[in-house]
Amino acid sequence: MDRYEAYIGKSWQEHGLAQVLVVRRRGNSSADAGFFLVDVWCLGVKDAFADTDLLESELEDYIAERLPEATREPIHPTCAKKLIEGAVAYAERFGFAPHRDFRKARRVLSGIDAALCPTDFTFGRDGRPCFVRGPHDSEERLERVLAILEARCGEDGYDFVDDSEEDDDILAVRQDLIAWLDDEADEVPKFYHLSGLVTALQICPHPVSPTKLIDALWGKDGATWSSDAELQDFLSLLMTYWNYVCELVQAHVEPDASPHDQAIDVWQEDFPGESVVPFAAAMVEWAGGFMRATELWPEAWGDALRRPDLAEHWEVIRWWAEFVGTGNKDRIADAAEGNPPRTIGASVAALIRALRTQPPAGPR
Residue 356: predicted pLDDT: 77
Cα 152 to Cα 130: distance, rounded to the nearest angstrom:
13
Residue 297: predicted pLDDT: 94
Decide if 264 contacts 202 (C-beta within 8 A): no
Which residues neighbour 90 within 8 Å (Cβ) at sequence distance 6 or greater? 40, 44, 123, 124, 129
Q: Residue ranges of the domains in the chain? A: 3-116, 130-164, 166-355
Cα pseudo-dihedral 166, 172, 174, 180, rounded to 10: -150
Residue 332: predicted pLDDT: 93
Residue 287: predicted pLDDT: 97
What is the chain's mean pLDDT, rounded?
88
Residue type, 351: L
Residue 361: predicted pLDDT: 42
Q: 77: number of CA atoms within 13 Å, CB side?
A: 17
Residue 364: predicted pLDDT: 38
Cα 153 to Cα 93: distance, rounded to the nearest angstrom:
10
| CA dihedral sign of residues 310, 314, 317, 319 | negative
Those residues of the chain that have pLDDT short of 50 are 358-364
**pLDDT per residue over 59-92, tens digit each?**
888 888 788 777 889 999 999 999 999 999 999 9
Residue 165: predicted pLDDT: 56
* b (16+ CB within 10 A) / e for 264-283: bbbeeeeeeeeeeeebbebb
Peptide bond into 340 cis (omega under 30): yes
Cα 279 to Cα 281: distance, rounded to the nearest angstrom:
5
3-state secondary structure the chain: CCEEEEEEECCHHHHCEEEEEEEEECCCCEEEEEEEEEECCCCEEEEEEEEEEEEHHHHHHHHHHHCCHHHEEECCHHHHHHHHHHHHHHHHCCCCCCCCCHHHHHHHHCCCCHHHCCCCCCCCECCECEEEECCCCCHHHHHHHHHHHHHHHCCCCCEEEEHHHHHHHHHHHHHHHHHHHHCCCCCCCCHHHHHHHHHHHHHCCCCCCHHHHHHHHHCCCCCCCCCHHHHHHHHHHHHHHHHHHHHHHHCCCCCCCCCCCCCCCCCHHHCCCCCCHHHHHHHHHHHHHHHHHHHHCHHHHCCCCCCHHHHHHHHHHHHHHCCCCCCHHHHHHHHHCCCCCCCHHHHHHHHHHHHCCCCCCCCC
Residue 319: predicted pLDDT: 96
**pLDDT per residue over 223-233, tens digit each?**
888 888 898 89
Residue 164: predicted pLDDT: 60
CATH number of 166-355: 1.20.120
Cα 62 to Cα 144: distance, rounded to the nearest angstrom:
36
Cα 240 to Cα 14: distance, rounded to the nearest angstrom:
16
